[in-house]
A and B are shown apart, each in its own frame.
Chain A
Amino acid sequence: MSGEKDLEQLKKEAAEKAKAAALAKKKAREQQETEVSEAVAPAEDEDLAKKKAAAAAKAKAAALAKKKAEEQQAGSESEDREDEDLAKKKAAAAAKAKAAALAKKKAEEQQAGSESEDREDEDLAKKKAAAAAKAKAAAAAKAKAARAKQESPEAVGDDAKAKAIAAAKAKAAAAAKAKAAAKAKQEGGEASDDAKAKAIAAAKAKAGSKGAEAPVAEVKPSVNQPYLDKYVKVIEEHLGNDVLEDSYINRLSKDVPTLVAKRETYYKVVQFLKYNEQLGFDYLSELHGVDYETHMEVYVHLYSYKNSQSVAVKVKLDRDEPTIESLCPLWAGANWPECEAYDLLGIKFLNHPNLHRIMLGEDWVGHPLRKDYEPYDVEV
C-alpha cells in the first residue's frame, strides 16, 4: 500500500539505513572502546559538569554510555542482518517503509501502527515534532558519545534522517510492547520484554534530559507520563527551570512519577506540590531515608486525593552532613517519620519541632541503617 507508493525512496532510505547502521555499529564499537576510558573523558565531563556533581556524573555517564551502546548495538545488529540477506532486506524494507511512514506521514498509518496510543492519536503534529526532537536528541547523544562536539543537525543531516527512522521504528516496537503490557494491566507483561522496554525508555529519558535543555515532549508508553509532564511543566512554570534535578517514571514502582528535587529546592517543591491547585498533593503517604553510600536520599511519597495521583519526591543529600528542611510545617504527619530517619540514618531535619531518637533512645551510638554502621559495645 504505502510501501508501493515510493518504493524508490524507500530503497534509498534502506540504503541509507544500512549506511547508518554500519556507522552506528562503528560508533558503538568506538564507544565501547572509549567506554573504558570514559570515566576520564574530558569532553564528556565538561558537558556533564553542568548538570551533575563530578563524581556522581562519572559513574552515571559510564552507565549511560553502556546503556546507549547496548541499545545501539541491538539496533545495528538487526540491521546488520538485513544487510546480509537481500531478499530479507526487501521484506524488511516494506516493514521499514511502514515505520518510516509512521514517522513521516499521517493519521491512518499511525492508527494502524499504534492504535492504543491515545496521545499519538490526539496530537500528530506533536508526535512528529517529538520524533524529530528525539531523533535530534539521539543524534546529539550519539554524536556526543562518539565525537563529543558535533551537535549541529545540519552536520549530521543524513545521519539524523536515518536515525529518525530508526528511532521511530524502535519507538513503534516499544509502543507495541507497551500496548501489550498495558493490555495485561502490567501484570501480563513478560519480565524480559518489560525490562527491555524499560531499559530503552530509561536510556532515552536520560539521553533526552541530557542532550537537550528544553523539555523533550517524548511519548513514552506509560499511562502516567502525561502526569509527570504536567507536574514538571507546572513546577517549571512557577518555580523556574532549575528546581528539579531529574524527573522520570519509575517503572519498577507501578509507574509512579518521580521527581528528584535539589537539596535547596526540596522544601519549595514539596510545598508547591501540596498547595498548588492543579497538583494538590494533600497526603503524605511515606517519608524515609536511604543511605546510598555515595549520598543520602530522602524519599517522600505523596498522594493527591483530589486527582487520585501519586508522586514520589526524592532529594539527594551530602552523606557527611545530611541536613534537609523538615516537612513538619506542611504535614504534622511528617513528625515521627522524620524522627525515625534521624534516628536510624542520622539525617537532620531543620525546623523540626521535636527531633529526637524516637526508636533507639538518646544514648544510642551511631545510626544503624547507615551502611558503615558498627555496633557500639562497651564490653568489646
Chain B
Amino acid sequence: MVQDLLHSQPGILNFGIFFILALVLLLVILGFVTYAILAERKVMGFMQLRYGPNQVGGPWGLLQTVADVLKLLLKEDTIPKLADRPLFILAPVIAFAPSFVVIATIPFTDKLQFADIGVGLLYYIAISGLTTIGVVMAGWSSNNKYALLGGMRAAAQMISYEIPLVMSVLGVILLTGSMNLNEIVAAQENVWYILIQPIGFLVFFIASVAELNRIPFDLPEAENELIAGYFVEYSGFRWAFFMLAEYVYMFAMASLTTVLFLGGWLPIFSFLDFIPGAVWFALKFSLVVFMLLWFRSTFPRIKADQLMEFGWKVLLPVALANIFLTAIIKELLSLF
C-alpha cells in the first residue's frame, strides 16, 4: 500500500495520508513501549519474587507506565549550566529519530510494511548506527565525567558489535541472495534460518543485545559504575526520549530477529496457516522480547575490556567462519 502511495502524485492529500500513517505507527510503537516496560517490570518482578506494578490501572498495573510518562512530562527540565546547550538539546532527538526510522522497513506481515526497499537489511543497520552519535553527543555535551565515560563506552561498543552483527547476517543474505526483508522471510517457507544458520543466529543475538545496550552489555549506562552513563544529566522528557529510543530499538531488533531467523509471519507448520500471520509474528516477537527480559534479570554485567575482547576475538572470527562455511555449503549444494 505504501508502494502505491510512493508512486502517486505529490500533494497535500498524499502528504496528509503519509503523515497520518506515520502517526498511527508511532502510536502503535508507543503503545508497545508502554506495555514492553510494563512487561519488563512484571516479568522481572515475577523472576525476583516481587509483584511488580500492581496499583495504577488495576491489579496488573496496566496504567503504570502511562502514569510514569505523565510524571516525566511534568518534571522540571534541567540543563546543566556548563553544558553545551544546543548539543544537549539535540542529542535525545538524534538518539531517538533513527530508532523510529528503521521500523519503516520491517515487514510485520506480507501486507503490513511501510517501505519495501531492496536493501532493507542494509538500511536497517546503517540507520541504527546513527543513534550512537546521539549518545556520544549526550555524553559530551552534559559536561559530566560519568556521562563522558558512558558516551565513550557507547561509541566503542557500537563499533565493536556492529561489525559482528553485520557479518552474522551475511550468511542469511548468502542463502537468500537478497537483502530485501520480504524475500528473506519468503525464503524461510520450508525451514527457518535459525536451523540452517545456528551459529549466525547466536552471533547475531549476542551482538544485538550488545547493540541494544541491555544487560549483560549495558556498559554505557552501567548504573552501578557510571550511575546512568551518558544520560546522567538528563531529566524529564529528554531523559524519556533516551528510554524511548532504547525500547523502540528493542522493538525493532526483536522484529528484525523474527524476520531474519524465525520466519517472520510464517506459521510454524504449514497446516497452522489458518492463524493470521500477524499473530504468528507477534508470538515470535514476544518470545524474543521475553528472552531479552530474561537476560536482564539473570546476568551480571560484562566488563569493558572483556566486552571488547569478546567482540573482536570471539564474535567476529566466528561470524567470519560462519560466512565461509555458509558459502562452501551453498556451493556444494548447488553442485548437486
Does chain A touch chain B in the assembled complex, meaning CB atoms less than 8 Å apart? Answer: no
Q: Which A residues fall within an 8 A CB radius of B?
A: none
